[in-house]
């Protein structure tokens, strides 16, 4: 066991600010699913009973001997009290375990991707802005009294703050007080990948105009949520704009310019951005050098080349990741140990600029012994070489 000389909070922030740490910090991306199963509940129970689900996270933290930080404090959503903000988060159709016959109680919620927004909606968003569009069309997506939605939003925000306080009391920092998608990610998931791709190639100017009409609102929602939760960071959800999906000319025009505008604005408010990169972004990594230094975390899911990321970004931002989901669920403890030590040695070289984490959320069917090995690896192994 390595002798610790820093608190989890100091260690985590030192890694983010590229300052030396006593050891590499570890911060799994955690929701209620894996902890619920570990504590003897079904996934459906954990999701349907937020307090029990959150308690399962705390219990799992205790069972495993603790980790250094929560990327998000729990499973609730920090949404500012506005219809436009809530619309940006919740329009969609998700299949939940326990809510549908034939869908196992131990299943992940799954987003059903379909064309929720139409081409005509693009014109409306351009004309009215996102807030105007959301207020005008709320009833189309939610046939509910707006007050009911806003009350739900308030409960979510209150719970988010409370969950953050629970961790704070244990000197465990929560990194993100706010969650937001890039405009590309939002439009791609709400138009559906195929239709949105056709839009990009058929009417790129219109897509850009929609993004221009949305971007300021997205920035305001994110900053307001972080201010309300008092947690000085934003989780920026990115998947569809990277080199797995599109060439660099599309990334530059439709993703990076908006990412940069958002991250610059967050940094201007003193907020760090945890860039949650799903899928492969290896070719996009050099662009990240244009983002504010020491104000971003590059969170990878094992499909981007994390070694390339270290080579490019080592003096610019902290890297987080990237234990593959398949390793957590069907790997052996020995394989997990070897993978984590390799990351600690190479990505954690210099004992800074790296936070060991799961590649995306820990899968609900992860083996507990594998998770334990991952958490222990940083406590027993310092970067070599």
Residues forming the site for another protein (CB under 8 A): 95, 104, 106-108, 110, 112-113, 193-194, 197-198, 200-202, 243-247, 250, 279, 303, 324-331, 335, 363-366
| CA dist list (Å): 359 to 83, 248, 282 | 32, 24, 15
Smallest separation (angstroms) from another protein to the CB of 33: 11
Q: Which is nearer to another protein, 51 or 202 (CB)?
A: 202
Smallest separation (angstroms) from another protein to the CB of 323: 12
Q: Which is nearer to another protein, 220 or 243 (CB)?
A: 243
Smallest separation (angstroms) from another protein to the CB of 283: 8
Q: Which one-letter DSSP state was computed for residue 290?
A: G
Q: Which is nearer to another protein, 250 or 288 (CB)?
A: 250
Q: Which is nearer to another protein, 115 or 158 (CB)?
A: 115
Burial pattern 121-143, b for ≥16 Cβ within 10 A else e, equals bbebbbeebbbebbeebbeebbe
Smallest separation (angstroms) from another protein to the CB of 200: 7
Q: Which one-letter DSSP state was computed for residue 70?
A: B
Q: Which is nearer to another protein, 88 or 328 (CB)?
A: 328
* Structure token pair of residue 38: 């570990």
Q: Which is nearer to another protein, 107 or 352 (CB)?
A: 107
| CA dist list (Å): 10 to 19, 40, 114, 196, 322 | 10, 33, 44, 43, 22
Alpha-carbon span 167 to 69, nearest angstrom: 8
Q: Which is nearer to another protein, 87 or 374 (CB)?
A: 374
Return the SS3 of 318: strand
Smallest separation (angstroms) from another protein to the CB of 372: 18
> Mind giving me the DSSP string for 323-344?
E-HHHHHHS-HHHHHHHHHHHH
Within 8 A by CB and 6+ apart from 221, the residues are 79, 80, 82, 84, 85, 88, 178, 180
> To which H or E segment does residue 298 belong?
strand 296-300
Smallest separation (angstroms) from another protein to the CB of 218: 23
Smallest separation (angstroms) from another protein to the CB of 278: 8
């Amino acid at each position: 066991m390595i002798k610790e000389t820093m608190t989890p909070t100091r260690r985590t922030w030192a890694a983010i600010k590229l300052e030396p740490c006593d050891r590499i910090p570890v911060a799994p991306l955690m929701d209620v699913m894996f902890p619920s199963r570990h504590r003897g509940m079904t996934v459906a129970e954990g999701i349907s009973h937020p307090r029990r689900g959150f308690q399962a996270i705390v219990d799992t933290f205790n069972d495993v001997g603790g980790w250094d930080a929560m990327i998000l404090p729990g499973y609730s959503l920090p949404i500012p009290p506005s219809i436009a903000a809530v619309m940006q988060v919740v329009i969609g159709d998700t299949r939940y375990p326990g809510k549908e016959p034939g869908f196992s109680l131990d299943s992940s919620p799954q987003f059903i991707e379909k064309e929720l927004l139409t081409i005509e909606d693009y014109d409306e968003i351009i004309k009215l802005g996102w807030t105007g569009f959301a207020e005008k069309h709320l009833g189309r997506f939610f046939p509910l009294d707006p007050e009911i939605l806003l009350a739900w939003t308030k409960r979510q925000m209150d719970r988010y703050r409370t969950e953050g306080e629970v961790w704070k009391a244990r000197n465990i920092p929560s990194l993100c007080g706010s969650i937001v998608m890039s405009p590309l990610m939002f439009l791609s998931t709400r138009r559906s990948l195929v239709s949105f791709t056709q839009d990009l190639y058929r009417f790129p100017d219109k897509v850009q105009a929609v993004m221009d009409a949305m971007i300021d609102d997205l920035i305001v929602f994110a900053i307001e949520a972080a201010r309300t939760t008092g947690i000085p960071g934003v989780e920026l959800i990115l998947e569809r704009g990277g080199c797995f999906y599109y060439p660099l000319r599309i990334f530059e025009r439709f993703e990076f310019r908006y990412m940069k505008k958002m991250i610059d604005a967050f940094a201007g408010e003193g907020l760090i951005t945890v860039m949650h990169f799903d899928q492969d972004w290896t070719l996009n990594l050099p662009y990240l050098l244009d983002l504010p230094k020491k104000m971003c975390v590059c969170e990878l899911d094992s499909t981007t080349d994390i070694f390339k990321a270290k080579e490019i970004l080592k003096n610019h931002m902290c890297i987080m990741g990237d234990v593959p989901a398949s390793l957590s669920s069907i790997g052996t403890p020995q394989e997990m140990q070897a993978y984590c030590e390799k990351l600690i040695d190479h990505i954690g070289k210099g004992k800074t600029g790296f936070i060991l984490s799961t590649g995306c959320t820990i899968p609900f069917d992860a083996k507990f012994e594998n998770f334990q090995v991952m958490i222990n690896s940083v406590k027993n192994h310092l970067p070599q070489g």
